[in-house]
Structures are given as structure tokens and as C-alpha cells.
């Protein structure tokens, strides 16, 4: 998703992409099947530290003693990047404000229309102050949803829809399900992440299929 969003900025006259952050949710989110935050942070670090020059992991949200709403997490990034450090330092030594955007898949955006999931106040805050980049998901008509949702439509000019040129419906839910069913996740996640999952027996209580376990042993 991050790489698809990055392509969106290639010909953008208004913005230059300088970085992207993974922000794993804390254990207090209490989603069924959620691995402990310490493992989720580590998997994100493994996926980015050797494979990307611009993607990073911020563990702040995962370390909080209570669940943090998305609006508050974005405020955290705003404070750290623009208030605490004064923005991005230009070659001439001046500072320029960093514009923060929420990157989301089409499924997350659809959840904004479900009663009780998002507060109207938070949606107005997120979409008016920061804006959102939506990566289309297979089978989801993002534009139709934007037209039908009053708050999203009100802030439509601050929402960018990123079209998938090559459709990819891999999701963390499917990866977890494959592990649970003892199916291969080779090439669905980086090998370092796959090996970490098996080594720590995440999402399952038995060893993976032989072909993946051999890969884990060899890579290790």
C-alpha cells in the first residue's frame, strides 16, 4: 500500500514524499486474534529495515497504556514532526511544515460508514486537518462510497484515491488465516517476517508445513 501511494506522488506538483510510518496499535485495541504489540512492532521493523529507505516504524502507539484513537495518533505525528522538530529541514537551513496524511485501504474507509465505529468529530478532524489516501481494494467501489457518505463527501477534495494498476488483495487477515490453517505464506510476507512468525508460533500452535519450515531453518 505504501509503495502504491508513493507512485501517486511521482508527478505531484504540490507534494514531495519524504517518508512513511507504520504505527502498530496497542494491545488495548483488543481485536480478536491480535498478536502482542511487541511482536507486531518487530515484524514491521523486519519488513522495513532492510527493504526500504523511506519506511519507518513508530512504536509510540503500541506502548500507550490505553487504546489511542486514529485522530489522536495523527496528532502525535503532527506534534513530533512539526512542533517538536519544526518540520523538514531544507538545504538552505530553513524548515518547511510536513503535511501528514492517513494511508488506508478501502476496507478501512468503508468502516467509517458503520454506526459506532468512528465518531463524526474524529472524522471531521482527520479529513479536514490531515486528509487521507485510500488504496482501492478488489471488489470495493471507493468512489461510490465517497458519494454516499456525507462527511467523506464534504472533505472529498482532501481525499486521494489510489488506483491499483495491478490488483493485490493480500491482507493481514488472510495471512493470519493461512498460518492458522497451516497453509504456506511464502512470498506473501518477507522471509524475515515469515520466519519470525514461525519462530514465535504466532497465530498457530503447531509447526508450519514442511516446505516453509525448511525455508525458515535454512534462512536462519
Q: Tell me the per-residue pLDDT of 21-69, one tens digit each, with 9 for 90 and over.
A: 999 999 999 888 889 999 999 999 999 998 899 999 999 999 999 999 9
Assess whether pLDDT exceeds 90 at residue 208.
Answer: no
The residue-averaged pLDDT of 73-98 equals: 96
Co-location of 101 and 145 in the same domain: yes
Co-location of 7 and 93 in the same domain: yes
Please indicate, yes or no, if residue 91 is contained in any of the structural domains: yes
Q: Which pLDDT band, with edges at 50, 70 and 90, does 140 fall under? A: low
Co-location of 10 and 99 in the same domain: yes
- Percent helix, strand and coil across the chain, each to the nearest 5: 45, 10, 45
Co-location of 127 and 204 in the same domain: no
The total number of structural domains in the chain stands at 2
pLDDT of residue 31: 86
Please indicate, yes or no, if residue 33 is contained in any of the structural domains: no
Q: Specify the pTM.
A: 0.87
Co-location of 83 and 159 in the same domain: yes
Co-location of 164 and 175 in the same domain: no
Co-location of 157 and 180 in the same domain: no
Which among 148, 168, 188 is the end of a domain? Answer: 168
Please indicate, yes or no, if residue 47 is contained in any of the structural domains: no
Assess whether pLDDT exceeds 80 at residue 205.
Answer: no
Residue numbers of the domain that contains 205: 170-220
Amino acid at each position: 500500500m505504501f509503495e502504491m501511494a508513493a507512485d501517486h506522488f511521482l508527478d505531484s506538483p504540490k507534494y514531495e514524499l519524504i517518508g512513511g510510518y507504520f504505527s502498530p496499535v496497542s494491545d488495548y485495541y483488543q481485536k480478536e486474534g491480535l498478536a502482542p504489540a511487541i511482536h507486531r512492532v518487530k515484524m514491521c521493523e523486519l519488513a522495513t529495515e532492510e527493504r526500504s529507505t523511506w519506511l519507518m516504524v513508530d512504536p509510540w502507539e503500541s506502548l500507550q497504556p490505553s487504546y489511542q484513537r486514529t485522530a489522536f495518533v495523527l496528532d502525535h505525528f503532527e506534534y513530533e514532526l512539526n512542533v517538536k522538530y519544526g518540520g523538514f529541514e531544507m538545504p538552505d537551513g530553513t524548515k518547511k511544515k510536513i503535511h501528514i496524511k492517513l494511508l488506508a485501504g478501502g476496507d478501512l474507509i468503508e468502516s467509517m460508514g458503520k454506526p459506532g465505529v468512528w465518531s463524526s468529530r474524529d472524522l471531521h478532524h482527520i479529513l479536514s486537518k490531515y486528509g487521507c489516501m485510500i488504496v482501492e481494494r478488489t471488489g470495493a467501489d471507493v468512489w461510490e462510497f465517497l458519494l454516499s457518505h456525507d462527511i467523506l463527501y464534504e472533505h472529498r477534495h482532501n481525499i486521494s484515491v489510489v488506483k491499483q494498476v495491478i490488483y493485490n488483495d493480500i491482507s493481514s487477515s488472510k495471512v493470519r488465516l493461512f498460518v492458522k490453517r497451516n497453509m504456506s505464506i511464502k512470498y506473501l510476507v518477507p522471509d524475515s517476517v515469515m520466519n519470525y512468525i514461525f519462530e514465535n508460533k504466532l497465530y498457530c500452535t503447531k509447526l508450519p508445513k514442511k516446505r516453509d519450515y525448511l525455508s525458515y531453518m535454512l534462512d536462519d
